[in-house]
Amino acid sequence: MEDDRETVCSLCAVGCRLAPGAEGSRAVGREGPVNTGGRLCRKGIHALERIPDDERLTTPLVRRGGSLEPASWTAAYDRVVSGIERAVERHGPDALAFLGAPHSTTEENYLLGKLARTLGTNNVDNRARLCHVSSARALSDRLGWPASTNGLADLREADAILVVGANPAERQPIAFNSYVRPAVNAGATLIHVDPVGNETTRLADVHLAPRPDTDGLVLDLLCAAVLDAGGVDRSFVEARTSGTDQFVDELAALDRAAFAEAAGIEQDAVERVAEAISDADGVASIVGTGIETDEREPSAAD
């Protein structure tokens, strides 16, 4: 018998709805905003299998005499509270730090932050900050918002989709198959920029495979080529940004042949991609963590 309780898969940011299966075994997909029809990827199906695992802790462990021993919840909470009180008394609330996790739910991370504020500290961090600091900064500086500026459903309406440093077909297959694949099937051009071919590449119309750590060079070339192809609405851009003329001048001064050689790609291929982007009425970009490891400065994400 399936469990009636529903939750959200926390293995990636897509947020598929699911429920525990019979006796806590494989998860069962439930109809959700993203996973239409209750579809789950392989990771999502197995997301809850660790819950009934024989090695899973069923009681808190408290260290006594150098070893961890089972303890009651009351004893564990008392140990935590006394430790916090002792640290605050000796060093003040700034001696406390709280670390969240990207695989925790939004609600769990929210409560962790509220607990930290209640205790008087601003020392709250998350591994996601380290993984996405360059892209968050670039989005905030360039677009005023450190996150996606559109919803997943907008991908279905795109005429061209540029994927850089990401492999959504494998990493986020539900979102890819629900939004990107339908757009491509309807005629959208899928462009994949990644040093390594993968499942996303298999559906792509164009694959630019630059050398590692040269994604930024490819994007510089692409910006210049799109400008040449007339794919930039200058009045729209100038009304909403600053430094446009300087950026255009920098692109005009690029040594395109040297950039293309360093990246290991053909200029003609970049120009074909630029034409596809320029001819499209709606263009969507998908950027992954692969681009955030580019060692060039400024970062490729920027």
Contact 193, 165 (CB under 8 A): yes
Strands of 206-208's sheet, edge to edge? 206-208, 189-193, 160-164, 283-287
The confidence score (pLDDT) of residue 190 equals 98
The answer to whether residue 138 is domain-embedded is: no
CATH code: domain of residue 256: 3.40.228.10
Q: Are 80 and 217 in a shared domain?
A: no
- Report angle CA 22, 28, 32 to the nearest 5 degrees: 145
pLDDT tens digits for 69-103? 999 999 999 999 999 999 999 999 999 999 998 88
Task: State residue 300's pLDDT score.
Answer: 52
Pick from 20, 36, 56: which residue ends a domain? 56
pLDDT, one tens digit per residue, over 100-157 is 988 888 899 999 999 999 999 999 998 877 777 777 787 788 788 777 888 899 999 9
On whether both 149 and 283 belong to a single domain, the answer is yes
The verdict on 35 and 109 lying in the same domain is no
Q: What is the pTM for the complete model shown?
A: 0.82
Q: Quick check: 23 and 155 in contact, CB under 8 A?
A: no
Listed residues 84, 99, 126: the one ending a domain: 126
Residues 280, 167 within the same domain: yes
Task: Tally the domains of the chain.
Answer: 3
**For the chain (length 302 residues), average pLDDT per consecutive 10?**
72 88 75 89 84 81 94 96 97 96 88 96 88 78 80 94 95 94 97 95 96 92 95 90 90 95 96 96 89 55 54
Q: What is the token pair recorded at 112?
A: 């962790």
Same domain, 65 and 32: no
Do 192 and 207 share a structural domain? Answer: yes
> Does residue 301 fall inside a structural domain?
no
148 shares its domain with 289: yes
Is residue 216 included in any domain, yes or no? Answer: yes
195 domain-assigned: yes
Structural domain includes residue 300: no
Domain's final residue, options 56, 71, 101: 56
Structural domain boundaries, residue 20: 1-56
131 falls within a domain: no
288 and 150 share one domain: yes
Chain-centre distance for alpha carbon 228: 31
Does 261 share its domain with 151? yes
> What's the rounded Cα separation, in Å, for the pair 20 and 4?
8
CA distances from 246 to 249, 251, 302 (A): 5, 9, 16
Side-by-side strand order, sheet with 7-8: 7-8, 17-19, 28-29
260 and 279 share one domain:
yes
34: domain CATH number? Answer: 2.20.25
**80 shares its domain with 40:** no
Helices 244-252 and 215-228 cross at an angle (nearest 10°) of: 100
Is 286 part of a structural domain of the chain?
Answer: yes
Q: Residue 240: its pLDDT value, please? A: 85
If asked whether residues 267 and 150 sit together in one domain, one would say: yes
